[in-house]
Amino acid sequence: MASPVAIAAQAGKLLRERALRPRLLAVRSQAGHLTPRRWLNLQEYQSKKLMSEHGVRVQRFFVASTAKEALEAAKRLNAKEIVLKAQILAGGRGKGVFDSGLKGGVHLTKDPKVVGQLAQQMIGYNLATKQTPKEGVKVNKPIEKVMVAEALDISRETYLAILMDRAHNGPVIVGSPQGGVDIEEVAASSPELIFKEQIDIFEGIKDSQAQRMAENLGFLGSLKNQAADQIKKLYHLFLKIDATQVEVNPFGETPEGQVVCFDAKINFDDNAEFRQKDIFAMDDKSENEPIENEAARYDLKYIGLDGNIACFVNGAGLAMATCDIIFLNGGRPANFLDLGGGVKEAQVYQAFKLLTSDPKVEAILVNIFGGIVNCAIIANGITKACRELELKVPLVVRLEGTNVQEAQNILKSSGLPITPAVDLEDAAKKAVASVAKK
Ligand code: GDP
Ligand code: MN
């Protein structure tokens, strides 16, 4: 799960495509080390704040970072019943388990004191759900917290999502009267219970569409108008904040006749960062490794793995191919660092600095395909970095494409102990061999 900083501007786009995402995850799980999020992800409480600012109905809530704060929040809410929810960037919390032994990331209680006791067993512990790595995700200060909300009775749980759909080239509203549960299961076992409304982005959502969806979700009488109104508000929110997905599960109704968004998951379009500064400022980078954040400062994308060969590449596709071929030759990548397109010599230097700062790294494999990238710039960056950083690990370089001849001359005449490689296979073999020798 968990998802937003992408691997590179263009690679990020690629990775968002479903076809590639599992590949990246496969590389990660092969490597046995999971750093799950790469896209802007907000916690539920942050998403709900945006929703409530746009007239979408959510429960009253506070967030807390300690058990004491949770207890105080519960008292302050002064509600008949309270729901305590662990804030991690993964779904399926209700059925999750903490390594404190506590079962369930979502708890209902009438007693504020119990809220404190439950929070005690959540904060600082890992919560494992169907969507997290096996060991779970830590509910941690200062970013990850617990949400203390006024619980409402739920008489019916439906599912509602708005997403940018590639096939339709625009927003689609997806809903099911069978909510609360795993929607993939519903889609598989009862596809007739999944309803869709394609929205024309220029015309916007029509009343008739919102009404039809409300009806398909099973909202009756006055609840139908209320649900339709909530759906329209969610659609306006979706557009306004440049979301690629707004998912509400459960989109529920209460016995008192209110339509309420009980849960919230919003994904954002990274390309809209420039005009959604406030939202991107909320980005929870606490699940990133510090080195990833450092890389992002230089417009480099870093993914940590657990082997010993650092990969210095351009493009997510090449990164994955490089990792694969290292595995095939019996080695293990320590990480990959993606240069992206319009690269400058100084970035190459920073990249090497980052790669070599990782004590796991025993060799570096450079695999650059110069399309937009000029190989000579890379070669100059490499030689400069080697000299200034007094590189102590073997360096295997494979350059191909624009200005490759000049690049090779630069490397050769540098007199530095750089091992050239003719192609990717050759590069991987040499890198793996250099580590094995040690
Ligand atoms: P998720 O498991 O991570 O998707 O977390 P949710 O926020 O969806 O909560 C899980 C389940 O807890 C929901 O499907 C509801 O059945 C239940 N739940 C959450 N909030 C409330 C509430 O205020 N009242 C009641 N009665 N149930 C709730
Ligand atoms: Mn949910």
pLDDT confidence bin for 142, thresholds 50/70/90? low
**264 CA to middle of ligand 2, Å?**
7
Task: Evaluate the omega torsion of the peptide bond into residue 250 and state whether it is cis, within 30 degrees of 0.
Answer: yes
- The atom number, within ligand 1, closest to the CA of 95 reads 2
| Ligand with the closest atom to the CA of 152 | 1
| Lookup result for tokens 């796991």 | 360
Q: By C-alpha distance, which of 158, 227, 154, 220 is closest to 186?
A: 158
Percent helix, strand, coil in the chain, to 5, is: 40, 25, 40
**Which residue among 45, 125, 159, 235 is the active-site one?**
159
pLDDT tens sequence across 234-281: 999 999 999 999 999 999 999 999 999 999 999 998 889 899 999 988
Mean pLDDT, rounded, of the chain: 87
What pTM was estimated for this model as a whole? 0.68
Note if 125 is an active site residue: no
Q: Of the segments 31-40, 95-104, 300-309, 381-390, which one has the largest average pLDDT value?
A: 95-104
Can you give the pLDDT at residue 22?
Answer: 39
- Which residues touch 434 (CB under 8 Å, ≥6 apart)? 362, 363, 394, 396, 419
**Which residue among 247, 253, 287, 362 is the active-site one?**
247
Can you give the pLDDT at residue 283?
Answer: 77
**91 CA to middle of ligand 1, Å?**
11
Query: Ligand 1 in contact with 153 (CB < 6 A)?
Result: yes
- The atom number, within ligand 1, closest to the CA of 96 reads 2
Q: By C-alpha distance, which of 45, 26, 141 is closest to 84?
A: 45
Query: Ligand 1 in contact with 180 (CB < 6 A)?
Result: yes
The CB density around residue 97, as the number of other CB atoms within 10 Å, is 16
Which amino acid is residue 417, in one-letter code? P
Helices 222-240 and 207-216, axial angle in degrees (round to 10) = 120
**29 CA to middle of ligand 2, Å?**
25
**249 CA to middle of ligand 2, Å?**
4
422 vs 415: CA distance, rounded Å? 19
Pairing of strands 170-176, 195-198: antiparallel
Can you give the pLDDT at residue 203?
Answer: 96
Q: Which of 47, 80, 89, 106 to mutate to test the pocket of ligand 1 (most atoms within 8 A of CB)?
A: 106
**106 CA to middle of ligand 1, Å?**
6
Query: Ligand 1 in contact with 263 (CB < 6 A)?
Result: yes
12 vs 164: CA distance, rounded Å? 16
Cβ-defined contacts of 44-52 (< 8 Å, 24+): 44/85, 44/87, 44/147, 44/263, 44/264, 44/265, 45/87, 45/145, 45/147, 46/282, 47/264, 47/265, 47/266, 48/261, 48/264, 50/237, 50/241, 50/266, 50/279, 51/234, 51/237, 51/261, 51/264
Query: Ligand 1 in contact with 94 (CB < 6 A)?
Result: yes
pLDDT tens sequence across 48-99: 999 999 999 999 999 999 999 999 999 999 999 999 999 998 899 999 999 9
pLDDT confidence bin for 1, thresholds 50/70/90? very low
Query: Ligand 1 in contact with 104 (CB < 6 A)?
Result: no
Neighbours of ion ligand 2 (CB under 5 A): 249, 263
Q: What is the CA radius of gyration of the chain?
A: 25
The CB density around residue 332, as the number of other CB atoms within 10 Å, is 18
DSSP state of 425: H
